[in-house]
A and B are shown apart, each in its own frame.
Chain A
Amino acid sequence: MDLKNLTIEKASEMMREGKLTSVELVSAYLKNIEEKNKDLNAYLEVFDDCLDQAKKADEIIKNKKGNKLTGIPIAIKDNILIKGKKVTAASKILENYVASYDAFVIKKLREEGAVFIGRTNMDEFAMGSSTQTSAYGVTKNPYNGGEYVPGGSSGGSAAAVASDMALCALGTETCGSVRQPASFCGLVGLKPTYGAVSRNGIIAMGNSLDQVSPFGKSVEDARILFDAIVGKDDLDSTSVNFINKENMIGGKIGIPWHLFQDGVDEEVISNFKESVEKLKKAGFEIVDIELPYSKYSLATYYIIMPAEVSTNLSRFDGVRYGLRKEGSDVNDSYKKTRSAGFGAETRRRIILGTYVLSHGYYDAYYNKAWKVRHAIEKEFEKTFQNVDFIMTPTTPTPAFKIGEKLNDPVAMYLCDIFSAPANIAGIPAIALPSGFTKNGLPLSIQFMANHFHEKDLFQIGKKFEGIK
C-alpha cells in the first residue's frame, strides 16, 4: 500500500467503496511502526486494542454509517486523556497514571469511529521545542538519517505522521508546539483560535494558551481533523461556539519584514522570498506591515506561561496520583516526589514562574506581560482591518541536530519566535511545507488570520499547495 501518498479523503473513499478495510489500513501502519519506531521513538505506546477499534470501524462502514474519519488511524500526543489508557505527558511523575475519562477531543473522534493507534512522545509536560526533554528518550526526525530533532513539543506526533506510522495526528500547542514540529517534519499544522477546541482532558501547561492542534500531510487532512474536534464544551469554560468567519476573495497578505531582519537562517529567508513571489504570481496582493508590539510576543510568553505552569504543576504532589517518594514529613514528601518526578526544564519553568509571580517582581513581570499581551491583541485587531493574512517563516531555522540547544534555554526558546504572536493573541495560524534545504530538510511558511478565520487559512493553504 502506498502510505506515503495516502490522504484521509482517499483512504476514506477506498473504505467506503469496499476496496480497503480499516483492519488492513491499521495493519499497514502497524507494520511500519514495527520497522521504524524502535529507531525513531515516535510512539511511547502502541495500543494493543487498535485492531479491535479498526474492526468496529469496519462494521460502521459496512452499515454505511461512516464519516470521513471512520477507520482512520490517528496518533495521539501523550498529554491527551484516553479513558483506561496510560497518559504521562512524557514525565516520570505520571509514569503509571491511567486516564479515568476521555478528553473532549477523544470523545469527538470516537463518535467518528477513528482509530487511536498509540500515544506519542513529547517534551515533558509539553515544555520544549525539540522533544529532547521527554523522560522517555528523544524522538528522531525521519528526515536525514536520524541525526535531527523533530521539533517539539509534539515531536512524536509529527515524526509518526512524517514516517507513515499514522495517517494524521493530534498535538497540542501552547507556543508553536504543533507548527514548529510540522515545519521540521514537512507537515501541515494548524493552531486553532483559542477557545475553538475544548481543553477538557488535556494535561494543562498554560491554560490561557493551550490548544489542541491537528497535524496532516495536506491542508485538507488538517481541515478534516479540525472539523471533527471543534466545538463548545461545558466542561471548558473558555471554549466557545465556533462562529465561522471568512473574507477571502482576493486575499491581502501583510508581511512584517522587520520581525525577521536578524537571526534567521539564509535558506529560510530565501525560501520565504520565493514563496512570496509565488503568491504574488498567483494574484495575491502583498503589503509591508509593522507589528511593533508583536515583537515582544516571545518575551511576554516566557513570563505568562511559566506563571501558569508553576500553579498548574503544583497539583503533582504525590498525594492523589502519580509518583510518590516518602519523606520525613508532609513537606519533605512533596519535595522528594517533585524532585524525583520533574525533569530539568520543568523545574526551570516552575522556578521561573514562581519568581515572576512573587511579591516584589509581580508588577515588573507578570502584570506588565499582561498589559503587553493586551497591546499585542489590539495590534492584531487593527492589522486585520487592513489585511486578511499575516505571513512569516514558521521557524527561524530548519531542524537542528539532536543534542543542540539543550543547555542553552534561551536559544531553545527562540525556536518559537514566530509562533508566539498567534498564541499570545489567540488567533489561528497554519504552518505549510514550502520546500527543502540543500541538505533535504523541510522548510515551512505560516499564515496567521483573525479569530475564527480558520476557513480562510485552509483556502490560502490549498492555493499555496496548488502553486508549488
Chain B
Amino acid sequence: MQIEDVEKLAELAKIELSKEEKENLLSDMEGILNYVKQIQEVKVEDIRPEYNNRNIWREDKLESRDFSSELINKQFPDSKDDFVKVKKIL
C-alpha cells in the first residue's frame, strides 16, 4: 500500500486526513493487513461464500411505530418546515 492508496480510500470513505494522519494510517494498514493476510493461506473448499442471513420482507403496508416525528425532526442539523434541508447536489 502507498500513501496514494490511503488518499484514494479516504476519498471513497469521505474522510479528510492531514499529512500526518495519512502516514500513521499507512503504517497501521500495513500492520493490520500483515496480520489478516494469514487467511489467504487457509485451504477451504471452493464454495460460494455462504451468506446465512437472508432478507425477510414484510408487506408494504402502513403499520404504526412508536417513533414520534417531533423527536426525529428535532435531530435534523438543518431543517425547514419539518423537512430536512440538504446541500445542493448538482
Contacts and interface: CB of A to CB of B under 8 A. Distances in A.
A joins B in a complex: yes
Interface of A: 83-84, 97-102, 208, 234, 237-238, 293, 296, 299-300, 302-303, 310, 314, 317-324, 329-331, 333-336, 338-339, 342, 344, 347-348, 350-352, 354-355, 358, 364-365, 367-372, 374-375, 408-410, 413
Given A329-B87, A370-B49, A375 B42 contact: yes
Contacts of A344: 21, 24
B39 A296 contact: yes
A369 B76 CA distance: 38
Interface of A is mostly: helix
Contacts of B65: 101
B81 to A, nearest CB: 16
Nearest to A320: B84
8 contacts: A303-B39, A317-B14, A348-B32, A354-B9, A355-B33, A365-B36, A409-B31, A409-B32
B66 A318 contact: no
Contact of B72 (A100, A238, A342, A351): A100
Interface string B26-62: 0011011101111110101101011101011010000
Contacts of A338: 13-16
Contact of A302 (B17, B36, B74, B87): B36
Interface centre among B16, B35, B39, B66 (most CB of A within 10 A): B39
Contacts of B29: 351-352, 355
Contact-size category for B: 35 or more
B77 to A, nearest CB: 4
Contacts of B32: 302, 348, 352, 409-410, 413
A97 B40 contact: no
A429 B38 CA distance: 25
Interface of B: 1, 5-6, 9-10, 12-17, 21, 24-25, 28-29, 31-33, 35-40, 42, 44-45, 47, 49-51, 53, 55-56, 58, 65-68, 71-72, 74-78, 84, 86-89
Contact of B66 (A83, A98, A300, A339): A83
Contact of B15 (A303, A324, A347, A372): A347
A330 B85 CA distance: 12
Contacts of A97: 75
Main secondary structure of the interface of B (DSSP, over half): loop
Interface hub of A100, A334, A347 (most chain B Cβ within 10 A): A100
B60 to A, nearest CB: 15
Contacts of A100: 67-68, 71-72, 75
Nearest to A303: B36
B14 A331 contact: yes
B49 A293 contact: no
A344 B29 CA distance: 13
Contact of B40 (A348, A364, A408): A364
A335 B14 contact: yes
A335 B44 CA distance: 40
Contacts of A293: 42
Nearest to B79: A320
A335 B16 contact: yes
